[in-house]
Structure 1
Amino acid sequence: MSRLPDPRRTRSFREERELISKACRVLAGRGLADGMLGHISLRVDDDLLLVRCRGPRERGLAYTTPHDIRLLRFDGTAATPDELGNWSAPNELPLHAAVLRSRTDVSAVAHAHPPRTVAADLAGVTIRPIVGAFDIPGAKLAAAGVPVYPRAVLLRNMTLADEMVTAMAGRPVVLLRGHGLTSAAPSVEQAVLQAISVDLIARLSLDIVSAGGTLRDISGEDMAELPDLGSAFNTQVAWRHELARLGD
């Protein structure tokens, strides 16, 4: 008796591939992934994820297409015999697998290499809530703390990836010293927007310090006054803006 194919592995995931490809281009457009390095993943089942892979005509994140988004098992093997073809899984796929396996609150992971964020951390400048209404989601993310994984290594195995997850300590974003950052969220859009907020605070912090200023956290009173404008504004409108910046 023949076995019916698993429908999870035969779905095209066309919309999800399109979303991830645009998200990769947003990261590049914002300067968080200038070259060929970086990737975004989305959990689609208990053991399956869509992730940006390196294609046969690799040109970097700014030129990602839906064809570069492939359906893999968490161990890096293809979900179907023809899924990978001439594409190769990211060397740091364990980074994505470790986060998704350990965090039931997370469905998407963005890994980027923002130069200013890396520079700020190496300069000893931490991500602090120095802004308020300028970027409310970013202020609240910074106020709760952005941890640092102190090793500047390629996270190419589960031992190293699990170390990063431990350092992440359940937070949305972790900085990777001398490397970049990892952002985890319930959606691709939120994972990317979090990375943008952290990078913005890092860039402002460097500018302030370079100008001879002193970084000061906003007051608790002001933090308490910042409203939650809701996901319709914080995520949906913000994401439409990011796509508009790309010309989409």
Structure 2
Amino acid sequence: MSEELAPLREHIAQACRVLAARGLADGILGHISLRVDPRRLLVRCRGPEERGLAFTADADIRLVDLDGEPGAAGELDGGYAVPNELPLHTEVLRRRPDVEAVVHAHPPSVVAADLAGLAIRPIVGAFDIPGTRLAAGGVPVYPRGVLVRSRTLAAEMVQALGDRPVVLLRGHGLTSAATSVEQAVLQSVSVDVLAALSLRVVAAGGTLVDLPEHDLAELPDLGGAFNTATAWRHEVARLP
């Protein structure tokens, strides 16, 4: 496999472990991809010794094209295969030129909140400013609880996603799209936290109330150096 892509493989593998450490992709489900050029992407593939996202190794990250074929000689050798839901990634990359990275995860709190009829809403303030802003813009739902394993199903999901960064998948999980792997993962974490808080509020007998517009307007943009870079260092530091 090409040595020049080694740092990106390491980065994606680490991000997979972050998802697992956060409980967003328990077991053997979930994957992350990163666009490399107009026709190819790096994606976590299924290996011959699959142990789940928490144990993702650099070698599990393989280069493929938008049709699921090897992106270079040897990339799918050794018993490796693309994930069944590769179209979930490739259709986003085909239809959203602003997106470079895609995360697919199965956070239990997100699934539970959606099934309970609880939308992801801006119910907090400075507790999570990026998450609040994301929720204020709306988090759509793809209403089919299916394995997104064809371009037809993936196109439906992307239509539901629209121009938003995250879409929930009914009875399934979420898809997060961003300009970087870090941002795609951090968006997933924020949505998961908001879903978990919503469930706790309702379980305690409370009512979900959106943050008032005047409070939302007071929330500063702390910048990418803090919102993404510092937050990502924290996530990596939390890994075992």
TM-score bracket for the superposition, by shorter chain length: over 0.9
Partner of 2:59: 67
Q: Secondary structure at the match of 1:134?
A: helix
Supply the AA of the counterpart residue of 2:66. Answer: F
- Which aligned pairs between 1:156-235 and structure 2 lie closer than 5 A? 156-235=149-228
Q: Which amino acid aligns with 1:71?
A: L
Q: 1:103 aligns with which of 96, 110, 113?
A: 96
Q: Could you tell me which residue of structure 1 aligns to residue 32 of structure 2?
A: 40
Please give the alpha-carbon distance, in whole angstroms, between the structure 1 residues aligned to 2:57 and 2:3: 18
* Cα distance in 2 between the residues matched to 1:79 and 1:168: 27
Give how far 1:81 is off: 2.6
Identify the residue that residue 43 of structure 2 maps to in structure 1: 51
In 1, the alpha carbon distance for the partners of 2:138 and 2:75 equals 39
Query: Given the alignment, which residue of 134, 143, 146 partners 1:150?
Result: 143
Question: Displacement, 1:212?
Answer: 0.3
- The equivalent residue for 1:4 is none
Task: Structure 1: give runs of 5+ residues left out of the alignment.
Answer: 1-8
The reply to whether residue 16 of structure 1 matches residue 8 of structure 2 is yes
User: What CA distance in whole angstroms lies between the structure 2 residues aligned with 1:203 and 1:79?
Assistant: 39
Give the alignment's TM-score, normalised by structure 1.
Answer: 0.95
2:191 alignment partner AA? V
Matching residue of 1:117: 110
Tell me whether 1:127 sits opposite 2:146 in the alignment. no
**Counterpart AA for 1:198:** V
State the 1:91 CA deviation.
0.3
Question: Hey, what does 1:30 align to over in structure 2?
Answer: 22
The aligned amino acid for 2:103 is A
> Normalising by structure 2, what TM-score?
0.98
Distance 2:172 2:207 in 1: 26
Identity score, percent:
68
Letter in 2 for 1:51: V
Q: Distance in 2 between matches of 1:229 and 1:81?
A: 43
State the distance in 1 between where 2:2 and 2:201 align: 52
Aligned-residue offset at 1:107: 0.1
1-structure distance, mates of 2:72, 2:98? 27
Match of 2:235 in 1: 242
Residue 80 (str. 1) matches residue 72 (str. 2):
yes
The number of residues matched between the two structures is 239
Q: Name structure 2 gaps, 5 residues minimum.
A: none
Other structure's SS at 2:135 match:
helix
Q: Deviations over 1:73-107 (max 9, x none)?
A: 01000012311111110000000000001111100
Q: Distance in 1 between matches of 2:201 and 2:161?
A: 27
Aligned to 1:6: none
1:184 counterpart SS class: strand
Structure 1 stretches of 4+ with a deviation exceeding 2 A read 9-12
How far is the alpha carbon of 1:169 from its aligned partner?
1.1
Asked which structure has the greater CA Rg, the reply is 1
